[in-house]
Amino acid sequence: MFNNKIEDWKDCLREDEKETLQKLLDGTKKFKCAFSKADDVKVAQLWCALLEIKREIDEIKGMLAKVEEPFKTIVEIGDMEKRRVIERIVSEIIKGYDKETQEATQKLVDSLMKF
């Protein structure tokens, strides 16, 4: 109650939040047979909304899992190519240097690859 006027709590939400809430509640309609039989219909509807959210999360996780492996492979290929380029550039720079210098430079390349 604000200024002696009773308001719907949803009126305190932003418009996009109201739309999101309405979509969530609309998504529970398929569970109406179940939650309408509950002692506390509103609480049961909320639990059904949680079920719907869980289903959507599982769906998204499934899609991400399909993308994850190819993405990891792309990153690995990129890292291997980066290493090859760095090694080629460094080997051109240190040509003619002794083995000790070449080994030290290789360690430098290895440390650079960590970044």
pLDDT digits (tens, 9 = 90+) for 32-51: 999 999 999 999 999 999 99
The pLDDT value given to residue 104: 81
State pTM to two decimals.
Answer: 0.57
Of 55, 51, 54, 45, residue with least CA distance to 22: 45
| DSSP assignment letter at 98 | -
What are phi and psi for residue 44, nearest 5 degrees?
-65, -35
Query: Cα(49)–Cα(26) distance, rounded to whole angstroms?
Result: 9
Of 56, 54, 59, 49, residue with least CA distance to 24: 49
Query: Cα(17)–Cα(11) distance, rounded to whole angstroms?
Result: 10
Q: What is the pLDDT of residues 37-87, one digit of tens each?
A: 999 999 999 999 999 999 999 999 999 999 998 999 999 999 899 888 887
Rounded to the nearest 5 degrees, what angle is found at the Cα of 73, between the Cα atoms of 67 and 74?
Answer: 85
